[in-house]
Amino acid sequence: MAQAYTPGLTITKSIILRKDRILPLKGDVVVKVGDKVTAEDNVAKTDLPGDVIAINIGNKLGVPPSDVLSKMRKKEGEKIKKNETLAMNKSVFGLFKNIVKSPITGSIENISSITGQVLLREPPVPITVKAFIDGVVSKVYENEGVVVENKSAYIQGIFGIGGEITGEIKVLVDAPDSELMPEQIDNSCKDKIIVGGTIVRLPAIKKAIQVNAKGIIIGGIDDQDLKDMLGYDIGVAITGHEEIGLTIVLTEGFGPIKMAAKTFEILKEFEGYKVSMHGKTQIRAGVMRPEIIIPIPFKKEELKAKKKEISGLKIGSIIRIVREPHFGEICTVTGLPEELVVVESETKVRVLKAKMEDGIEITVPRANVEAIED
For the entire predicted model, the pTM comes to: 0.79
Q: How far apart are CA 368 and CA 331, in angstroms?
A: 12
Output the tens digit of pLDDT for each of the chain's 374 residues: 334 444 568 899 999 999 999 999 999 999 999 999 999 999 999 999 999 999 999 999 989 999 999 999 999 999 999 999 999 998 766 567 889 999 999 999 999 999 999 999 999 999 999 999 999 999 999 999 999 999 999 999 999 999 999 999 999 999 999 999 999 999 999 999 999 999 999 999 999 999 999 999 999 999 999 999 998 887 766 899 999 999 999 999 888 999 988 999 999 999 999 999 999 998 765 678 999 999 998 777 666 655 555 456 888 888 888 788 887 788 899 998 888 888 777 788 888 999 988 889 999 888 888 888 76
Query: Which pLDDT belongs to residue 286?
Result: 60
Query: Which pLDDT belongs to residue 200?
Result: 96
Q: How far apart are CA 189 and CA 51, in angstroms?
A: 39
Q: How far apart are CA 373 and CA 269, in angstroms?
A: 19
Instruction: Give the domain ranges of the chain.
Output: 52-121, 158-289, 318-373
Q: Which of 35, 249, 284 is nearest to 154 (CA)?
A: 249
Q: How far apart are CA 292 and CA 267, in angstroms?
A: 10
| pLDDT tens-place string over residues 194-249 | 999 999 999 999 999 999 999 999 999 999 999 999 988 877 668 999 999 999 99
Strand-pair category, 369-373 with 318-321: antiparallel
Q: How far apart are CA 145 and CA 27, in angstroms?
A: 8
Query: Which pLDDT belongs to residue 27?
Result: 95
Is 318-373 the same fold as 52-121?
A: no
Query: Which pLDDT belongs to residue 304?
Result: 67
The CA angle 142-148-153, to the nearest 5 degrees, is: 165
Query: Which pLDDT belongs to residue 282?
Result: 85
CA–CA distances in Å: residue 287 to residues 7, 11, 159, 250, 284 = 10, 17, 11, 16, 6
3-state SS string over 42-90? EEEEEEECCCEEEEEHHHHHCCCHHHHHHHECCCCCCEECCCCEEEEEE
Q: How is domain 158-289 classified at the CATH fold level?
A: Glucose Oxidase; domain 1 (3.50.30)
Within a 13 Å sphere around the CA of 17, how many CA atoms are in the beta-carbon half?
30
Q: How far apart are CA 256 and CA 240, in angstroms?
A: 22
| pLDDT tens-place string over residues 344-354 | 777 888 889 99
Give the chain's radius of gyration (CA, Å).
28
Q: How is domain 52-121 classified at the CATH fold level?
A: OB fold (Dihydrolipoamide Acetyltransferase, E2P) (2.40.50)
CATH says 318-373 is which class? mainly beta
Cis peptide bond prior to 325, omega within 30° of 0 = yes
